[in-house]
Amino acid sequence: MKTDQMLAELRAQSPLVQCITNYVAMNIAANVVLAAGASPAMVHSDSEVADFVPICGALTINIGTLSPTWVSSMQLAADTAVASGKPWVLDPVAHFATPFRREVARDLVSRNPTIIRGNASEILALTGGTSAGKGADSGDSVADVESAATVLALTQGCVIAITGEVDFVTDGTRTARITGGHAIMPKITAMGCSLTALIGAFAAIAPPLNATVAALAMFAEAGERAGKTAQGSGSFQVAFLDALMQIAPDDLANDAHVQWL
Ligand SMILES: Nc1ncnc2c1ncn2[C@@H]1O[C@H](COP(=O)(O)OP(=O)(O)O)[C@@H](O)[C@H]1O
Ligand SMILES: Cc1ncsc1CCOP(=O)(O)O
Ligand SMILES: [Mg+2]
């Protein structure tokens, strides 16, 4: 499925996406998903995830502001997604930083995410490497992680997206790079978390690899547009949301921003 068709389909279906995300990201991630054309629900209580996941098109789980009470919800939500045939996306924010975070991420990876999205330091650490990440911020380069990520995608049987200046997406067999965006993007908190939520939205209506590429291409286009008018990270956020809403399927035609390898 082509990126422009996927955006048209996203807007036509406006799928419900359950996002278990962090306190920092909740508002901006929900607004990003809405601006793109889907319907977010930030639902995380273990009293309701088993009932909520099956009525959604996809689930996303982000461990950014992890605490013990959330872990059982994340595990139940992931297992419910797998049991009900819904795609689910893992964002392992700063999982290398502490033993608690590392163990929760390891457990979630074992619950068969459909897609894993992280920055270069996060994906490097998932492949067993030593990351130079500082908390949620990456200290590694995407290019250095590409081959290990390809092996991990194959052994794990999932799609892996590494984001940065040039993004890399692979299912272990098919691979794409996505260019565009803007250098301000890593200076705005929860951009990556919001992107993970948007990947969930596309995964609700398209196969995982294509869905991931579509979300990243849409971010690349919106980032480029916002960078033309923004005066800093504050105005960039407003311009970015406006751009997401204004991007038309035709703007993503001909695999705009996407290079299949
Ligand atoms: N230097 C950069 N130039 C252009 N786009 C970037 C740059 N760094 C990150 N991005 C974009 O910002 C978004 C978030 O990616 P990233 O910063 O890697 O995630 P995280 O916020 O999880 O660390 C992605 O769309 C990515 O392509
Ligand atoms: C700053 C911060 N601290 C815990 S979660 C979070 C947000 C991280 O967002 P992103 O991974 O998109 O940069
Ligand atoms: Mg992140």
Mean pLDDT on 5-34: 98
Q: CA Rg, the chain, in Å?
A: 16
The average pLDDT across 241-255 equals: 98
Q: Is 59 left (phi over 0), alpha (psi -120 to 50) or beta?
A: beta
Counting ligands in written order, the one closest to the CA of 91 is 3
Looking at ligand 1, which residue's alpha carbon is closest to its atom 24?
A: 163
Pick the CATH number of 3-260 from 3.50.30.60, 3.40.1190.20, 3.40.50.970, 3.40.50.300: 3.40.1190.20
Structure confidence at residue 161 (pLDDT) = 99
Encoding tokens for residue 59? 């689930």
pLDDT, tens only, 109-130: 999 999 999 999 999 999 999 9
What's the 165 CA to ligand 2 centre distance in angstroms?
17
Per-residue pLDDT at 63:
98
What atom in ligand 1 is closest to the CA of residue 196? Answer: 22
pLDDT value at residue 243 = 98
pLDDT averaged over the chain?
A: 98
Q: Which ligand is nearest to the CA of 186?
A: 1
Domain parsing of the chain, residue ranges: 3-260
Q: Over the stretch 143-165, which tens digit does the pLDDT of each residue have?
A: 999 999 999 999 999 999 999 99
State the closest ligand 2 atom to the C-alpha of 25, by its place in the atom list counted from 1: 7
How much is the average pLDDT of 188-204?
Answer: 99
Q: What is the pLDDT of residues 62-87, one digit of tens each?
A: 999 999 999 999 999 999 999 999 99
Residue-level pLDDT at 68:
96
Task: Please tell me the residue having the least CA distance from ligand 2 atom 10.
Answer: 190
Kindly report the protein residue whose alpha carbon is nearest to atom 22 of ligand 1.
192
Distance of CA 37 from the midpoint of ligand 2 (Å): 23
Q: Can you tell me the mean pLDDT for 215-241?
A: 98
Per-residue pLDDT at 230: 98
